[in-house]
Structure 1
């Protein structure tokens, strides 16, 4: 049985979890799922305060209502600075290819004679609210 090779980011996350056993306890206690934790780790990074809060909290969720708009904006600005432009471009290219494939499948079901890019929406009735007056 051959095992599928994991994405490098998944391997890094697994290493992060090995170094932070409190993350495993979070999942086992039912407070979070692996998917949620991976997404947070991927977006926020390993140095985010969220990971410290998981290790120190005693069954209570961290309070986010006390954050001011300035803190929120600084967090967003920090995340934007951490974005790798090459990785973002790869994600955009993958999304573009997926949308192109979906458009191809749709055009096959619609008749397929229309060239890609020149598909125009079907025209509806001229006046969709044409009611008879009493």
Structure 2
């Protein structure tokens, strides 16, 4: 059976995990999932202070108290982390994505307006007016 080649970012994450064996213990304990850790690693980068507690197995075992203190510090610093993430974003790319999202919302609003307009004008008003120009298949009552 031939092995599949993994995405380069997954390969980098695997080597990162080998350098930080404490992450394996966290997943085995059920405190984190691999998906969560990968997303944090991808967004925060390898140099984030969050990863310092996982660098060696001995540090993870002997410094449980400092680990909880560091965790509470990272929880307090979530605003700083979000700020760092926003600084790493490309403004032109974000503008492009926001523009595309705006166009999609406008298209959905247009479709909804067509359905709402069709429902409100499809009542008795259409029966009293000539069918020309509006709907070629509508008929008047005799």
Q: Please, what TM-score do these two structures have when normalized by structure 1?
A: 0.54
Q: Residue 31 of structure 1 aligns to a residue in which SS?
A: coil
Name the structure 2 match of 1:50: 50
C-alpha separation in 2, matches of 1:81 and 1:34: 25
Answer yes or no: is the 8 Å Cα contact 2:13–2:41 preserved in 1. yes
Q: Residue 9 of structure 1 aligns to a residue in which SS?
A: helix
Change in CA separation of 1:12 and 1:83 when aligned onto 2, cut-off 3 Å: farther
Name the structure 2 match of 1:20: 20
Q: Please, what TM-score do these two structures have when normalized by structure 2?
A: 0.51
Name the structure 1 match of 2:111: 120
C-alpha separation in 1, matches of 2:45 and 2:31: 20
Query: How many matched pairs?
Result: 100
Instruction: Provide the aligned C-alpha RMSD in A.
Output: 3.9
Change in CA separation of 1:125 and 1:53 when aligned onto 2, cut-off 3 Å: farther
**Quick check: which has more Rg, 1 or 2?**
2
Name the structure 2 match of 1:5: 5
Q: Residue 64 of structure 2 aligns to a residue in which SS?
A: coil
1:82 to 88, 91, 95: 88
Give the C-alpha shift of residue 40 in structure 1. 0.5
Give the C-alpha shift of residue 76 in structure 1. 2.6
Q: Residue 52 of structure 2 aligns to a residue in which SS?
A: helix
Name the structure 2 match of 1:63: 72
Answer yes or no: is the 8 Å Cα contact 2:50–2:74 preserved in 1. no
Question: Unaligned 5+ residue runs, structure 2?
Answer: 102-107, 121-142
Question: Unaligned 5+ residue runs, structure 1?
Answer: 97-116, 127-134
Change in CA separation of 1:66 and 1:33 when aligned onto 2, cut-off 3 Å: closer
C-alpha separation in 2, matches of 1:65 and 1:13: 21
More helix per residue:
2
